[in-house]
Amino acid sequence: MIEFQNVSRVYKNQVRALDDVSFHIAPGEFVFLIGESGAGKSTLIKLLLREEVPNFGKVLYQGNNVASIRARRIPRHRQSMGVVFQDFRLLDDRTVFDNISFALEIFGYPNAQIKRKVADVLELVDLTRKAGSYPNQLSGGERQRVSIARAMVNNPALLIADEPTGNLDPDTSWEILRALRDINNTGTTILMATHASDIVNRMRKRVLELHSGHLVRDEEGGAYSVQA
C-alpha cells in the first residue's frame, strides 16, 4: 500500500529532513511513526499527501508514484487518504453532521446518501447522539472522534493520524486509540505519528522510528524506546 524507496527530502536551507528512507507498509497494518521533534515525521506524511516531493527516491501509494500524479489528480489522491491532526481542525460554526458532510459535498452525492454515510461514520466513532451539536459543546475526545469520522467518510484505504492525542489527557487518548483500533479492524491501514510513549508501549504495533531524517528502527510489536 505504501512504499518508500530510498527517499530523501532536502529543503532549500540544506536541511536533510529525510535521508535515504526505505520501508513498505502492507494493507491493513497499524504503524506508529515516532522520533523526536524535527526527526522528519511531518515531512514523511507530506510526501504521502503530495504536499512535498522527494529530491531522490520514490514514494509509491497503491502502486503509483506519488510524485508523478498529475496536478488535476492531486485532490483525488488526497481524498483517498483520511487525515487527522492534533488540533482537530473542525469548523466551529457548523454542527458535527455538517462538519462531516462537508467532506462529501464536493462529490455531489444525493442527500440521502450523504445522510447515510455520515450516520455510518458517526456510529463508527460512537457519536450518533451528537450529530446536532457544535464543536464547542463537545469534549476534546469527542472533537477528535468527529475529526476521525470526517477523515473516514470517504472510506479511505489509509488513515494518517498526525499526533492525534497531542492535545488530550491520557484517558481520552485511549478513547481515540480504541476508535483507531476499531477502524483498523475493519481493514483500514493506520499510520500514526506520536510522542505518546505509553500508547506505543501498550499497543505493541509496528514501530518506524526516525532520527535526524534517518529510519533508525522498523520493529514489529515494538516499544517506544529500544529496551536494553
Q: Which residue has the cell 487527522?
A: 84
CB nearer to ligand ADP: give 28 or 38.
Answer: 38
Instruction: Give the nearer residue to ligand ADP in terms of CB position, either 46 or 115.
Output: 46
The torsion defined by the Cα of 43, 44, 49 and 51, in degrees rounded to 10, comes to 20
Is 41 or 145 the residue whose CB approaches ligand ADP more closely?
A: 41
* Nearer CB in complex with ligand ADP: 149/208: 208
- Using alpha carbons, select from 106, 83, 90 the residue that is nearest to residue 158: 83
Point out which residues pair with 219 in neighbouring strands. 207
Q: Which of residues 4-43 bind ligand ADP (CB under 6 A)?
A: 11, 13, 15, 17, 35, 37-43
Interface characters, 150-179, with ligand ADP (x: CB under 6 A): ------------------------------
Q: How far is the CB of 19 from ligand ADP (least distance, A)?
A: 10
Least distance in angstroms from the C-beta of 133 to ligand ADP: 32
| Helix residue ranges per DSSP H, 106-194 | 111-124, 140-152, 170-185
**Cα angle, residue 45 at apex, residues 41 and 46 outer, rounded to 5°:** 115
Find out whether 1 and 26 touch, Cβ atoms under 8 Å.
Answer: yes
- Size of the residue set binding ligand ADP (CB under 6 A): 12
Query: What residues make contact with ligand ADP under the rule CB under 6 A?
Result: 11, 13, 15, 17, 35, 37-43
